[in-house]
C-alpha cells in the first residue's frame, strides 16, 4: 500500500496560527495541543518527560521543499542536526542523500539500509578508522578538509579504485548568528583558505593522486544564516576558484557544494531563510558568474540539517519547582542542558508554552530553567507564562528538533530523553529513554 504524505504547501497553509510549530499543530480541549494528530498531554503521560516528539510529516514536507526548490541539485540531509534510524529512512524515501561526520553516523545509517554511495563524509579530523570504514562501505564522496588528508586517504584506497573527493574551501566569508558557528572565515578550523594559496596547493596535490578523483569544491559558511547574500558571495568566490582550476590545470570540476546553515525561527517574529527564494537567487548568481568566465555550470550540492529537523521537533518538560528570587520568577523543569545544550553554548532562547490545562491567570514574565547544576542552564528568559504556573504543569518547547539530542550529554547522569514520532494520530517510540541500567553498564567498576 502506498502512503500519501501532505505536500509542503498544504502544511504551510495551516502554519500562521502557530508560526514556530509544526504545520500539523492544532488547539485541543483543556488547553492542550495536538501535533501530527497526537495530544501533547497524552504523549507526556504515555512516554514520560522529558520527551522529544518529531512530526514525520513535517520532516518529509521540508525534504520535499528542498527537492522542489532545487530540482537539479543533490540535497544531503546533515545528520549532525539529528539522526536516528527512522530519520535516515524518511530522508532516503524523500530522495535526499546523507551528510555524515563520524563512523557512528555512517554505520547507523548503513545498518538502516541507507545506501553509502549517497553519503558525504565530513570532518576536520577524520580518524583512520573512519576513513577505512568510509572506503570499505563505499561512501560516495569524502570531503578533504586539510592537506594532510590527501595522502592519507589516497593510501587507503584499494589498488585499481578511485575515491571521489571534494575539497572544503574557507572562502573568507563571515556568516552565522554566533562566532562559534561561523565556519566560512579563514580564522577557524574548517577548510582550506582560498586567499593565501592553501586551497590552490591542495587542488594541485589532489590532482596528482591517481587514486583520488576530485569532483568539486565545497564550502559551508556557518549556521542560522537568514539571508541569501552570503551564499551569493560564496558562489562568486567558488566559481572563481573553479575557473582558476580549469585555467591552471585544464580540469573542469563538475560539482559545487554550498553546504547548509539555513536559518529557522525559534520564536515568533524571528526570521527564517526562504528556501525557494534562496534557490532562485543562487541559480541566477551561478549562471551569471559562470557566464562571465565562460565556465559550464557545475551541479549544485546542498547540506541542510536544522532547516529540516528543527521545526519538526517539540520538547516536553514537567515543571518541578517555581521559585521567586528577587525580581525573577524561576520555573524549573525536569530537563535542561543535558538534552539541549544550545542555550548554554550560544545564548539562544526558546518560546515554551503551557499545555494540558486551561489557564485563566494573567501572563507574567518568568525564566524557564533546567535542573542541572549550572547557572547557565536556562531555556528561556523573560518568557510570558500564566501567573499560576505550578509544579506538575507541562511545558512544550517548539523548534526543538535539531542540535538538541544530537548534542546531548550525560551531565549529572540524568539520562537522555526518548524520541517519539507522531503522524496521523499515532505516536511510536523511535529511541528509548536512556536508563540508569544503561549508565551502570558502561561503568566497569574499580
For residue 304, what are the CA distances in angstroms to 77, 168, 195, 224, 260?
Answer: 5, 16, 26, 11, 5
Residue 396: in which H helix or E strand, if any? strand 394-398
Q: Please tell me the distance from the alpha carbon of residue 389 to that of residue 361, in angstroms, as a whole number.
A: 9
Q: Please tell me the distance from the alpha carbon of residue 78 to that of residue 123, in angstroms, as a whole number.
A: 12
DSSP character string of 177-195:
SSGGGB-SSTTSSSSEESS
Q: Cell 543535558 appears where?
A: 338
Q: Please tell me the distance from the alpha carbon of residue 198 to that of residue 167, in angstroms, as a whole number.
A: 11
Q: Is 373 a catalytic residue?
A: yes
206 in Cβ contact with 167 (< 8 Å)? yes
For residue 251, what are the CA distances in angstroms to 152, 199, 225, 390?
Answer: 23, 15, 32, 66
Q: Please tell me the distance from the alpha carbon of residue 267 to that of residue 19, in angstroms, as a whole number.
A: 8
Instruction: Give the 3-state secondary structure of residue 12.
Output: helix
Provide the grid cell at 39. 495530544
Q: Please tell me the distance from the alpha carbon of residue 423 to that of residue 161, in angstroms, as a whole number.
A: 44
398 in Cβ contact with 417 (< 8 Å)? no
* Backbone phi and psi for residue 414, each to the nearest 5 degrees, phi listed first: -85, -15
Q: Cell 486551561 appears where?
A: 358
Q: Please tell me the distance from the alpha carbon of residue 122 to that of residue 439, in angstroms, as a whole number.
A: 30
Q: Please tell me the distance from the alpha carbon of residue 342 to that of residue 74, in angstroms, as a whole number.
A: 29
Neighbours of 125 (CB within 10 A): 10
- Of 101, 219, 290, 373, the active-site residue reads 373
Instruction: Give the 3-state secondary structure of residue 116.
Output: helix
Q: Please tell me the distance from the alpha carbon of residue 189 to that of residue 137, in angstroms, as a whole number.
A: 27
Neighbours of 443 (CB within 10 A): 8
DSSP H stretches of helix in 48-127 = 56-69, 85-93, 103-112
| Residues 6 or more apart whose Cβ sits within 8 Å of residue 223 | 176, 177, 178, 181, 183, 260, 261, 263, 306
236 in Cβ contact with 284 (< 8 Å)? no
> Annotated catalytic sites, by residue?
373
Amino acid at each position: 500500500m502506498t502512503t500519501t504524505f501532505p505536500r509542503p504547501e498544504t502544511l504551510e497553509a495551516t502554519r500562521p496560527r502557530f508560526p514556530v510549530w509544526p504545520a500539523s499543530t492544532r488547539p485541543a480541549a483543556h488547553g492542550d495541543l495536538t501535533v501530527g494528530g497526537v495530544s501533547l498531554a497524552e504523549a507526556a503521560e504515555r512516554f514520560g518527560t522529558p520527551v522529544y516528539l518529531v512530526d514525520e510529516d513535517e520532516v518529509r514536507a521540508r525534504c520535499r521543499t528542498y527537492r522542489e526548490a532545487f530540482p537539479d541539485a543533490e540535497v544531503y540531509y546533515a545528520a549532525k542536526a539529528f539522526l536516528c534510524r527512522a530519520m535516515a529512512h524518511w530522508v532516503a524515501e524523500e530522495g535526499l542523500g546523507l551528510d555524515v561526520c563520524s563512523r557512528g553516523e555512517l554505520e547507523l545509517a548503513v545498518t538502516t539500509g541507507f545506501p553509502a554511495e549517497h553519503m558525504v563524509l565530513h570532518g576536520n579530523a577524520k580518524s583512520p578508522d573512519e576513513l577505512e570504514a568510509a572506503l570499505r562501505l563505499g561512501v560516495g564522496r569524502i570531503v578533504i578538509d586539510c592537506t594532510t588528508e590527501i595522502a592519507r586517504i589516497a593510501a587507503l584506497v584499494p589498488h585499481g579504485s578511485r575515491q571521489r573527493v571534494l575539497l572544503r574551501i574557507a572562502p573568507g566569508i563571515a556568516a552565522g548568528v554566533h562566532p562559534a558557528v561561523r565556519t566560512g572565515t579563514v580564522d577557524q578550523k574548517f577548510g582550506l583558505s582560498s586567499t593565501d594559496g592553501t586551497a590552490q596547493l591542495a587542488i594541485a596535490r589532489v590532482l596528482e593522486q591517481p587514486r583520488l578523483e576530485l569532483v568539486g569544491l565545497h564550502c559551508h559558511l556557518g549556521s542560522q544564516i537568514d539571508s541569501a547574500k552570503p551564499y551569493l558571495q560564496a558562489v562568486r568566490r567558488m566559481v572563481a576558484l573553479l575557473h582558476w582550476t580549469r585555467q591552471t590545470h585544464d580540469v573542469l570540476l563538475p560539482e559545487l557544494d554550498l553546504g547548509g546553515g539555513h536559518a529557522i525561527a525559534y520564536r515568533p517574529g524571528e526570521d527564517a531563510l526562504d528556501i525557494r527564494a534562496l534557490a532562485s537567487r543562487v541559480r541566477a548568481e551561478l549562471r551569471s558568474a559562470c557566464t562571465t568566465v565562460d565556465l559550464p555550470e557545475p551541479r549544485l550540492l546542498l547540506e541542510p540539517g536544522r532547516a529540516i529537523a528543527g521545526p519538526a521537533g517539540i520538547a516536553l518538560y514537567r515543571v518541578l519547582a517555581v521559585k521567586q528570587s528577587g525580581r525573577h520568577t524561576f520555573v524549573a523543569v525536569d530537563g535542561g542542558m543535558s538534552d539541549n545544550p544550545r542555550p548554554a553554548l550560544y545564548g539562544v532562547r526558546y518560546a515554551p508554552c503551557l499545555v494540558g490545562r486551561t489557564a485563566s491567570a494573567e501572563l507574567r514574565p518568568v525564566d524557564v530553567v533546567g535542573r542541572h547544576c549550572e547557572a547557565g542552564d536556562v531555556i528561556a528568559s523573560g518568557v510570558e507564562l500564566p501567573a499560576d504556573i505550578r509544579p506538575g504543569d507541562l511545558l512544550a518547547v517548539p523548534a526543538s528538533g535539531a542540535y538538541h539530542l544530537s548534542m546531548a550529554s550525560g551531565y549529572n547522569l540524568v539520562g537522555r530523553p526518548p524520541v517519539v514520532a507522531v503522524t496521523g494520530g499515532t505516536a511510536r517510540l523511535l529511541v528509548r529513554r536512556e536508563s540508569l541500567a544503561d549508565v551502570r553498564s558502561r561503568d566497569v567498576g574499580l
